[in-house]
């Protein structure tokens, strides 16, 4: 899922998104709640109509962004009190208001309001936190209206395998339309992240979507699909695009590099995105160096197309029962060793 | 002509440009000469191929931008020595190198290298300047290769009617594929600008395009077509778009205005651009307030579409011999008095 934090996937029109094959995008509840406000969006007919996007939208709960505010927020059993990063005004989000805001936005897939503890959190903190997350998950489910979108539960537990396990059991016990693994990609090593995924996925129902939140690199997608994950969201394709970093099957391209100054080839040979069909690396480098808006547009088109094609190819490989070969080839193309 | 200073019309893809009906764009020789360099663009197959634009390109001579550098440039009979605004490096552009650079770019319509005197220039300065501009125009024509694009001469003469007249006579006497009026919209009043246009156009051949450089507002387009002008270029639709100022037939809309916060209507009722078909003023205001790239994209799409539709409507009115009525209605729609 490309990330559309403020009611737009940065630098793309909805037409661009359809063209690169996006089937669903993510909206950030925290940002939309603060600006332009969920009530305004509801008045305007909901987020889909407001932003001109008629395919599904998943909204996060606002929790992750609120907890990222550090000194600006205070957590209680009821919910979280915090100050806006825009104007310093005070706000409270509880499990009930999070669901209500997501309902106002017209979300197709809503997420439970959870606490995402920092990577540095110790065992006791994480244990207490996930117990509260479980209580909050129950409150989210209870407060949800019958006719609103799907609701996913979130498994927390930090970097502690047994806590991940008990969180998974608790959340699955409540019963949701899908399950997410939260609190990863927060600073831990890749092996530890994969280990935490491996603990959770075997416990998750086969017939419900499994969503790994905020992850990740192309390698992460391949590794975590291999461990049983279905859905991802990440700002990496869009943010890196704006910083001139392009994804290809043979690795990353930093387009500002002098070596591309007179490179008349596309970012990736054979890529069918608008950018690769029409423009050279030399042109993209020029746009980046000249700080042109079109640089962000064309780079984002390519990167989002790359990510969606990757997932489509993974899906195809699974359907053809050839995921193992796919994974091998994926690493070979980037000249990396395959485990 | 939308302005594509650095090899891109800011915030638009070539596909966007085709969609809004752009038939020709302007490229800035000074900027492209400095970055990425005309030789690089030539190696990459010319400006059209480099930027993925297969319709005509008009290039300016670089003169206007060089003269705008003020203290950073020195004018002699040979040409102009100047320092780059990017890195302070020294360069010389002469009439011959200007044409040669424009030929490297693969321009469809090249402009003569001319001096554009400041608004404050006195009679003697302007007289000497236009005499040199005439000598430069001869050198431009002589140095042009037979198989390169069309070449337009530029009429100067500041705010002095008799100098405009003698410049027009001199330039037309040399003989070009089209003629431009330069050195206007540099700080003078509208009546004075229109007066200078009125002096020049009756002297210009009926069978050659007449191009008023760097102009202007929608009102300027209507007024100057009424005085015999065929072609315009201006950064106004693109630059104002990025500043949240939108053009409509009833006047300008500053999209950040609080009154549009909950306005579910399009920028302009009945407008057929991608922006007006798909998005509300409320959404455009949100994007602008949140400083999203999509704000620049959608606003630019609308404004360039507005300008091109305006010119198309003017053309239609002329063909139907109803320009006078068109002009009357144009002012009535904006609630302005018609002279």
- Cβ(A12)–Cβ(A304) under 8 Å? yes
Say what the pLDDT of residue B95 is: 98
pLDDT for A45 equals 98
B15 has a chain A CB within 8 A of its CB:
yes
Q: Name the nearest CA neighbour of A68 among A88, A83, A79.
A: A83
Asked whether B130 and B159 are in contact (CB, 8 A), the reply is no
Q: Is the pLDDT of residue B66 over 90?
A: no
Q: Is the pLDDT of residue A339 over 80?
A: no
Q: Which domains does chain A have, with CATH numbers?
A: 1-111 (no CATH), 116-234 (3.20.20.70), 239-333 (no CATH)
Find chain A residues with C-beta within 8 A of B298's C-beta: 13
Say yes or no to pLDDT of B72 above 90.
no
Lowest average pLDDT, out of A66-70, B60-64, B92-96, B110-114, goes to A66-70
Residue in the block written with tokens 């991608």: B274
The kind and range of the H/E element at B329 are: helix B323-333
Whether residue B65 is predicted with pLDDT greater than 90 in this model: the reply is: no
Phi-psi region of B209 (alpha: psi -120 to 50; beta: other; left: phi over 0): beta
Neighbours of A208 (CB within 10 A): 17
pLDDT value of position A27: 98
> In this complex, do A261 and B40 lie within 8 Å of one another by their Cβ atoms?
yes
**Total Cβ atoms within 10 A of residue A310:** 18
Q: Specify the DSSP element, H or E, that contains B248.
A: strand B245-248
Tell me the mean pLDDT in the region A169-182: 98
Report the pLDDT value the prediction gives residue A54, as an integer from 0 to 100: 98
- Kind plus residue range of the DSSP H or E element containing B180: strand B178-181
**Cα angle for residues B305, B307, B311 (degrees, 5° grid):** 115
Partner-chain residue, chosen from A35, A283, A293, that has the shortest CB–CB distance to B50? A283
pTM equals 0.97
Q: Which residues on A lie below 8 Å from B289 (Cβ)?
A: 35-36
Nearest to B1 by CA among B229, B279, B268: B229
Model confidence at B69, pLDDT cuts 50, 70, 90, reads confident
Could you identify the residue written with the tokens 């208001």?
A: A97
Q: How far apart are CA B136 and CA B61, in angstroms?
A: 11
Report the residue of A297, A300, A302, A304 to disrupt the B interface, i.e. the one with the largest count of B CBs within 10 Å. A297
CA A117 to CA A157: how far, in whole Å? 8
| C-alpha–C-alpha distance, residues B122 and B131, integer Å | 14
Rounded to the nearest angstrom, the minimum Cα separation between A293 and chain B is 5
Tokens found for residue B76: 């002699």
- Looking at the predicted structure, is the pLDDT value of residue A66 above 90? no
Q: What is the CA radius of gyration of chain B?
A: 20
| Contact at CB, B274 and A15, closer than 8 angstroms | yes
How many Cβ atoms sit within 10 Å of the Cβ of residue B148?
Answer: 16
CB B35 within 8 A of CB B28: no
- Percent of chain A predicted with pLDDT > 90: 94
Does B280 contact A44 at a Cβ distance shorter than 8 Å?
yes
CB contact (8 A) between residue A13 and residue B290: no
What does the pLDDT read at residue B48? Answer: 98
Q: For residue A268, what are the contacts with CB-CB under 8 A and spacing of at least 6? A: A248, A249, A250, A276, A302, A306
Confidence check: pLDDT of B339 > 80:
no
Instruction: Name residue, tokens 């609103």.
Output: A148
Q: Which residues of A touch B50 (CB under 8 A)?
A: 280, 282-283, 286
Q: What is the mean pLDDT of residues B146-155?
A: 96
State whether residue A288 sits within 8 Å of chain B by CB.
no
Q: Check if B52 contacts A (Cβ < 8 Å).
A: yes
Distance (Å, rounded) from C-alpha B212 to C-alpha B197?
8
Q: pLDDT grade, residue A44 (50/70/90)?
A: very high
Instruction: Please give the Cα distance from A104 to A233 (Å, whole number).
Output: 22
Q: Which residue of A has its CA nearest to B294?
A: A11
Q: β-strand A109-111 against A150-155: which pairing, if any?
A: parallel
Average model confidence (pLDDT) for chain B?
A: 96
pLDDT at site B68: 82
Residue B249 confidence class, pLDDT cut points 50, 70, 90: very high
Task: Classify residue A207 by burial, with Cβ atoms within 10 Å: 0-12, 13-18, 19+.
Answer: exposed
The CA–CA distances, whole Å, from A290 to A110, A131, A191 equal 40, 51, 39
Q: Any CB–CB contact under 8 A between B292 and chain A?
A: yes
Q: Which residues pair with A251 in a beta bridge?
A: A248
Give the lowest-confidence range in A69-78, A216-225, B164-173, B317-326: A69-78
Helix axes B218-226, B293-319, angle to 10 degrees: 20
Do the beta carbons of residue B283 and residue A51 sit within 8 Å? yes
pLDDT of residue A64: 86
Query: Mean pLDDT across chain A, nearest whole number?
Result: 96
pLDDT of residue B177: 98
Question: Could A52 and B279 be called an inter-chain contact, meaning their C-beta atoms sit closer than 8 Å?
Answer: yes
**Chain B residues within an 8 Å CB radius of A12:** 294
Residue A338 has pLDDT above 80, yes or no: no
Q: How far apart are the C-alpha atoms of A74 and A70, rounded to whole Å?
A: 9
CA–CA separation, A233 and A311 (whole Å): 12
């Amino acid at each position: 899922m490309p990330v559309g934090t403020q009611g737009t996937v940065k630098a793309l029109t909805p037409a661009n998104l359809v063209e690169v094959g996006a089937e669903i995008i993510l909206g950030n509840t925290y940002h939309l709640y603060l600006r332009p406000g969920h009530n305004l969006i509801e008045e305007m007919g909901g987020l889909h109509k407001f932003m001109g996007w008629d395919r599904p939208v998943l909204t996060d709960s606002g929790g992750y962004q609120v907890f990222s505010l550090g000194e600006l927020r205070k957590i209680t059993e009821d919910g979280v009190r915090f100050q806006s990063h825009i104007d310093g005004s005070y706000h409270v989000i509880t499990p009930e208001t999070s669901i209500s805001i997501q309902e106002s936005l017209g979300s197709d897939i809503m997420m439970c309001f959870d606490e995402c503890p920092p990577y540095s959190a110790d065992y006791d903190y994480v244990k207490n936190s996930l117990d509260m997350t479980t209580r909050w998950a129950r409150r989210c489910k209870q407060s949800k209206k019958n006719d609103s979108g799907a609701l996913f539960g979130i498994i927390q537990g930090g970097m502690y395998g047994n806590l991940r396990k008990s969180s998974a059991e608790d959340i699955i016990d409540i019963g949701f339309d899908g399950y997410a693994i939260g609190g990863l990609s927060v600073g831990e090593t890749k092996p530890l992240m994969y280990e935490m995924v491996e603990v959770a996925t075997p416990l998750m129902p086969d017939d419900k979507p499994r969503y790994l939140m905020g992850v990740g690199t192309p390698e992460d997608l391949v590794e975590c699909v291999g461990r049983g994950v279905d859905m991802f969201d990440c700002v990496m394709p869009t943010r890196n695009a704006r910083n001139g970093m392009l994804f290809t099957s043979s690795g990353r391209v930093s387009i500002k590099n002098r070596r591309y100054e007179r490179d008349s080839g596309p970012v990736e040979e054979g890529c069918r995105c608008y950018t690769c069909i029409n423009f050279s690396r030399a042109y993209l480098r020029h746009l980046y160096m000249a700080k042109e808006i079109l640089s962000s547009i064309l780079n984002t088109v390519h990167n989002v197309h790359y990510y969606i094609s990757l997932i489509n190819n993974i899906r195809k490989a699974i359907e053809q029962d050839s995921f193992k070969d796919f994974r091998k080839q994926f690493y070979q193309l980037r000249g990396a060793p395959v485990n």
